[in-house]
Structure 1
Amino acid sequence: MSLMIQIVDIHGREILDSRGNPTIEVEVTAQTETTGKKITAIESVPSGASTGKFEAVELRDGNPRYFGLGVLNVVDHINNRIRKELLGMNVLDQVKIDRRIIELDGTDNKENLGANATLGVSLACASCAAKALDMPLFRYLGGTNAKRLPRPMMNVINGGVHAANLLDFQEFMIVPVSASTFSEALRMGAEVYHYLKLLLHEDGMLTAVGDEGGFAPDLHTADEVFRYLTKAVEKAGYKPGEDIAFAMDAAASELYDEERDVYIFPGEEVIRSADEMISLYEHLIDEYPLISIEDGLNEEAWEGWQKLKQRIGDRVMLVGDDLFVTNSKRIRCGIELDAANAVLVKVNQIGTLTEAMDAIELCHRAGYQSIISHRSGETEGSFISDLAVAVNSGYIKSGAPCRGERTAKYNELLRIEEQLTLAKFEKR
């Protein structure tokens, strides 16, 4: 006889994210059949600024409240339509719950209920189930094989739509590759981050931070950024490439001009073709210890991605974010075309936990790396930390070691590390 822990209430509310914009928080309450004990869990939903056109739909009210960004209609969907559908279900039946939500929405991209509604309920159900079983969330999601902590990819310099500066590429990250544990990696990253701040300050650069906690100085090119990162790594007493590697998110779809089929760099006052973009990446890989390039080309440029993979796929991770949007259909297409070798996983791009975990499983079977990621508009929730450990993901992106909504994810991983007996990183 299977254990029954019945969902007895679902309640959504409008809260604020790290950019001061409304988002969704969901409480799920379940009751054990045997003792009558009630368990409540709360999860929240992030929001992106740089979004792919193929992401699941995030619904907004569109009225004068909060400049049209309110989510009261989404709250109504949760508190009425979804609540009515899920009451009485077993909170332990995550796949069945998510399928019921997907069927209720009835669209491929969650445009009926909103991915912010479906995801909030899906995550809160999983958290409630873990609490009901008195299990760590990562263990409930991943079972006994959840044993690997992700290596942090820390966004320390922001550009693009994440910062009001002249830098065209969106994110520049440091990756502590020589660290043997997560806590060591976090310390190394924080030390480099603080030395970077000192270097920027010495040169009269602004050290205000962007949406994800990285600094937003008025640098113009990737070369300038990587030179600063190299100096910061050396100042901290580490060796570039040996101890600390670099990663970047080009967010090329934000630079792409569809009519002219070119990439426009307003900060550099340069226009590049797809071939010139690839040549630029080759130059950066030759000059700096760059191990990962995210969204190097436009989200619909499948042939360009194939060429990118052929040219540099054996040297770096080529990460699809806008290209794949955590969607198994698009990931499967990329695998068949041999267009990348890594997937960025953002749970709100697809709208339910089950679909996100299916996408992760698919990319792992194909030999792709998975990188579990936050969004630029975040909450204090740390669900993605547990998810990264549950699926043994190689990496996590949670921004700089700065701002509470970013450090919440890293601090949760420190707690998880204490619970795992085999918490050391696998050797690169």
Structure 2
Amino acid sequence: MSPQIKALDAYEILDSRGNPTVRVALALSDGTRVAASVPSGASTGENEALELRDGDAKRYGGKGVRHAISNVIEVIAPALVGRDPTRQRDIDRLMIDLDGTQEKSKLGANAILGVSMAVARAGAKVTGKPLYQYLCAGSPSVMPVPMMNVINGGTHADNSLDFQEFMLMPIGAPTCAEAVRYGAETFHALQRLLKKRGLATSVGDEGGFAPKLRSNDEACQLIVEAIEAAGFVPGKHLSVALDPAASAFFVDGRYQLAKSGAGPKTAAEMLDLYTRWIDQYPIVSIEDGFDENDWAGFQAMTARLGSRLQIVGDDIYVTNTHFIRRGIDEQATNAVLIKLNQIGTVSETIEAIDMCRKAGWKYVISHRSGETEDTFIADFSVAMAGGQIKTGSLCRSERIAKYNRLIEIERELGNKAVFSNPFA
């Protein structure tokens, strides 16, 4: 008989913002022990699965997760003890049924996801495979090109930038390890440029610099200068990816670019801005360029620019097949951001990816702004073979842990590893 789930435990740990989150520990009948930690987002879609918080102002300002932990120990654990950890889909479905709500509000998506990730790790241990191989439908080989957040704005930084993330993509690197080098060298070149101009080099939630710039345009200009200063060619070795996170500045039917002083803009004016930018800068991907409910804005952008760049939906889809199906039917974007904790189980996340594959859409495995040292998404990105990962800047250990794990996986794969420009 294969090892079975013997015990589940859960407890509070801190995420990268110093807020509590859930860690689940799972023990098998053969003595194997694994654990998984759940990330937390700041810029969240309104249709995301619910992250259960206690609301007790006397503990962590109401952000405690003892209720979610209790649900793991008292509700989920009794139902899972004695089960085969390799039955991932069955176990995830059981937890969904135990919760019984559409948004996982009874048990909490943070409780359910922590268990789901731990079960996946246990299943990998039972089969004697690394996690990236265990979760892969075929033979793992595709290493992801990273989106590296080097300038932060929006809700992720207290500065003058409306847009949330300005990222590097080392599309011309020959390997994942070299992609990390390209990014790190450009990151440090950017730091030197900022210092030279007397700008702050403090960092935001995801490790990117958070300077007070004169405009959103200046962030793009600085990144291009940094790429050149590091000895690379913009558009050849490294390109730019953006996440405006437009829902955060959509107010009263207008896109309010108040932090930068650019004023309110209509959806048509935002599209004109994006069009000008991709003409001017080596931009290959734009995520959440419009509010999560502005389907017409996304459709217009895809119709005009979809043949020129990757248009990614995050808040509009929240890793949910219901919304992704609508996006496919309405041609709202041509790519989806994939976040495990938006939907709440490993199985449902894979179902969302399968839907993207069938539609011929790209997909990007993503971290959250409130992260932990858990490297699950590094393995997951290789297993899902999407060729892209978004996991933050080139500093802060909770981000670097994912890059280091990718380097490790690439070494394990040896000459089987494939790394290539996803936009070629």
Q: TM-score when scaled to structure 1?
A: 0.97
CA deviation map 1:328-355 (0-9, x unaligned): 1100110000000011011000000000
Paired position in structure 2 for 1:97: 91
Q: Is the 8 A contact 1:180 1:424 kept in 2?
A: no
Give aligned pairs, total: 419
Paired position in structure 1 for 2:45: 52
Deviation of the 1:426 alpha carbon:
3.1
- Could you say what secondary structure the match of 2:168 adopts? strand
Paired position in structure 2 for 1:411: 404
Paired position in structure 2 for 1:34: none
Q: Aligned ranges for residues 234-383 of structure 1 at < 5 Å? A: 234-257=228-251, 260-269=252-261, 270-383=263-376
Paired position in structure 2 for 1:164: 158
**Which one of the candidate residues 191, 196, 200 is aligned to 2:194?**
200
Q: Is the 8 A contact 1:302 1:339 kept in 2?
A: yes
Q: Is the 8 A contact 2:2 2:126 kept in 1?
A: no
Confirm or deny that 1:109 pairs with 2:107: no
Identity of aligned residues (%): 49
Distance between the aligned counterparts of 1:26 and 1:347, measured in 2? 15
- Could you say what secondary structure the match of 1:271 adopts? strand
Confirm or deny that 1:219 pairs with 2:213: yes
Distance between the aligned counterparts of 1:247 and 1:408, measured in 2? 21
RMSD: 0.9
- Could you say what secondary structure the match of 1:38 adopts? coil
Q: Is the 8 A contact 1:173 1:246 kept in 2?
A: yes
Q: Is the 8 A contact 1:147 1:392 kept in 2?
A: yes
Amino acid in the other structure paired with 1:150? P
Q: Is the 8 A contact 2:141 2:418 kept in 1?
A: no
Paired position in structure 2 for 1:28: 26
- Could you say what secondary structure the match of 2:174 adopts? coil
Distance between the aligned counterparts of 1:262 and 1:65, measured in 2? 37
Question: Structure 1 unaligned runs (5+)?
Answer: 32-36
CA deviation map 1:194-237 (0-9, x unaligned): 00000000000000010100000001422101110111001111
- Could you say what secondary structure the match of 2:11 adopts? strand
Displacement over 6 Å in runs of 4+: none
Amino acid in the other structure paired with 1:354? S
Distance between the aligned counterparts of 2:315 and 2:358, measured in 1? 21
Deviation of the 1:38 alpha carbon:
1.6
Distance between the aligned counterparts of 1:315 and 1:321, measured in 2? 19
Distance between the aligned counterparts of 2:157 and 2:122, measured in 1? 36
Distance between the aligned counterparts of 1:240 and 1:189, measured in 2? 12
Distance between the aligned counterparts of 1:80 and 1:320, measured in 2? 36
**Which one of the candidate residues 160, 172, 176 is aligned to 1:182?**
176
Question: Structure 2 unaligned runs (5+)?
Answer: none
**Which one of the candidate residues 12, 15, 19 is aligned to 2:13?**
15
Distance between the aligned counterparts of 1:67 and 1:231, measured in 2? 42
Q: Is the 8 A contact 2:216 2:260 kept in 1?
A: no
CA deviation map 1:54-107 (0-9, x unaligned): 100001000120000000011100001000111111111000000000000001
Amino acid in the other structure paired with 1:325? V
Q: Is the 8 A contact 1:29 1:38 kept in 2?
A: yes
Deviation of the 1:185 alpha carbon:
0.5
- Could you say what secondary structure the match of 1:354 adopts? helix
Distance between the aligned counterparts of 1:395 and 1:132, measured in 2? 28
Deviation of the 1:143 alpha carbon:
4.2
Q: TM-score when scaled to structure 2?
A: 0.97
